[in-house]
Amino acid sequence: MSKLKVVGGIPLRGEIAVHGSKNAALPILAATVLFPEPVELTNCPELADVRHMLALLEELGCRIRQQGDRVEVDPRGITCTELRTDITRRLRSSLFLLGPLLSRFHEAAAVYPGGCDIGRRPIDLHLQGLRLLGAEIEEREGRIYCRTAGLKGTDIQLDYPSVGATENLIMAACIAQGVTRIINGACEPEIVTLCEFLNRGGFSVTGAGTPQITIRGGGEGRSIRYEIPADRIVAGTYLAAGAITGGEIFVRNAPVKELTAPLNKLREAGCLIREERVGVYLKGPKRPRELKKIETRPYPGFPTDLQSQFFALCTVARGTSLIVENVFENRFVHGEELQKMGALCHIRGDMAVIRGVKSLHGADLTAHDLRGGAALVLAGLRAEGMTRIEGAQRIDRGYVRLEEALSALGGRVTREPPEANV
Ligand code: EPZ
């Protein structure tokens, strides 16, 4: 268990570069199972979740070579199609392996995946889609057993544009026979990235970024090198840190086009924003203005993964803000922690009403989930005095050494004990 210590009251200044995207890297790593030859990834973020995914691939029989952010996956040695229980329980995105394993090896097994405690996180859409493609799926004693004589392309209408289900089904359809159309699929940038990776690797996917995605099955796959794009949620987190501290920062590599909704909210809060080709310049106000209403929605709506960071920003705004969390059922857990710092927020169901206060005070807190933990760090950067945050290993799931990134901007953030949690 590691802990972060934050001393607040210092406006952030300077430039920070954004590392590779966790939510782009994880499905792409799962997709390497579809390839008959080694695949090389660059700018692959050195995160706990990525290490867990690589461990799963190794357990299946893949040969992994890693040097910093360069990762090579050689899937030629896969001999097993059953996912390791202890990792699968902790890593929800292990689910992304079901589709590719089924598609290429006609079988796959796993326990129900775990992940952050932000909601029930069912997997019905994944399983419904795989069944439509011709998989027989048995669920017994908490485990999922899948097998098929060979997946066959078909139309799949998703009841909800689930990011993971869309990714899983695209990968499953790549080697299936015939054409698959996913209707009401997710439009997130990570879907576009996955499909770009698959197309460069010899598969055939069109419509990525729109709700209708078409996959021509029977693909072969060929060895490629692919660069993971910058992480839009990490970029948004750094920008929110600049805003809450009234700082002046430049976030290099921020994927500006993927940040329209959060950037508009930062402008509404009184930030001066300059969108440049290689990043975003932000100058935060002394005290942010309230955000009348934030509603999280599937992309291109306001991203649920930035909700908690903007919640923290609202706690010190001049006025009352409203946040509606439409994607997950339990994603306000950070509210209770922020109240320990003097935040005034009232949470009922999917709504949070936040009355901004002039200042927060440091406190001893716990990070209960990845993005909620990041929100506590941001609040600590603004608060008077010291904030200690238990559970920093949860923050490490999505941020590469967050304490170093914020310290590079002049923030006083340190970790105890010094090494990040593996
Ligand atoms: C992905 O999770 C991301 N994770 C999440 O980021 C992100 O919050 C989420 O998409 C939404 O954008 C990765 O990409 C690894 P969903 P995923 O399936 O795929 C319901 C982070 O902080 N649902 O789009 O699990 C589900 O319960 C993480 O980086 C079903 O009902 O999200 C939720 O309410 C957190 N049945 C909603 O859909 C299903 O079969 C959105 O889930 C699947 C999902």
The reply to whether 116 belongs to the active site is: yes
In order of 23, 52, 69, 166, 394, the CA distances from 210 in angstroms are 18, 30, 30, 11, 32
Q: Is the confidence at residue 421, as pLDDT, over 60?
A: no
pLDDT digits (tens, 9 = 90+) for 318-347: 999 999 999 999 999 999 999 999 999 999
Please state the rounded mean pLDDT for residues 250-264.
98
Instruction: Please choose from 21, 22, 23 the residue to mutate so as to test ligand 1's pocket, defined by most ligand atoms within 8 A of CB.
Output: 23
Q: Exposed/middle/buried for 323, CB within 10 Å: 0-12, 13-18, 19+?
A: buried
Instruction: Please choose from 121, 166, 231, 329 the residue to mutate so as to test ligand 1's pocket, defined by most ligand atoms within 8 A of CB.
Output: 121
The torsion defined by the Cα of 200, 202, 206 and 210, in degrees rounded to 10, comes to -50
R_g (Cα) of the chain, nearest Å: 21
Q: Whole-angstrom Cα distance, residue 81 to residue 86?
A: 15
Please state the rounded mean pLDDT for residues 371-385.
98
Residue with CA nearest ligand 1 atom 34 = 328
Provide long-range contacts, Cβ within 8 A and 24+ apart, for 300-303: 300/187, 300/260, 300/261, 301/261, 302/261, 302/262, 302/265, 303/232, 303/233, 303/236, 303/261, 303/262
Residue with CA nearest ligand 1 atom 35 = 305
Query: Which residue, 299, 312, 296, is CA-closest to 242?
Result: 312
Is the pLDDT higher at 59 or at 118?
59
Give me the catalytic one of 44, 116, 271, 314: 116
Any atom of ligand 1 within 6 Å of the Cβ of 49: no
Beta strands in 265-337 (DSSP E): 272-276, 279-283, 294-295, 320-324
> Whole-model pTM?
0.97
Distance from Cα 161 to the centre of ligand 1, integer Å: 9
Residue with CA nearest ligand 1 atom 18 = 162
Q: 201: which 2 tokens? A: 């690797």
Residue with CA nearest ligand 1 atom 28 = 305
Q: Which residue has the tokens 């029930």?
A: 120
* pLDDT score of 47: 96
Distance from Cα 327 to the centre of ligand 1, integer Å: 8
Contact between residue 275 and residue 58 where contact means Cβ atoms under 8 Å apart: no
For residue 243, report the phi and psi dihedrals to the nearest 5 degrees.
-70, -45
Q: Is the confidence at residue 420, as pLDDT, over 60?
A: no
Distance from Cα 163 to the centre of ligand 1, integer Å: 6
pLDDT digits (tens, 9 = 90+) for 109-163: 999 886 557 887 789 999 999 999 999 999 888 899 999 999 999 999 999 999 9
Distance from Cα 124 to the centre of ligand 1, integer Å: 12
Tell whether omega for the bond before 122 is within 30 degrees of 0, i.e. cis: no
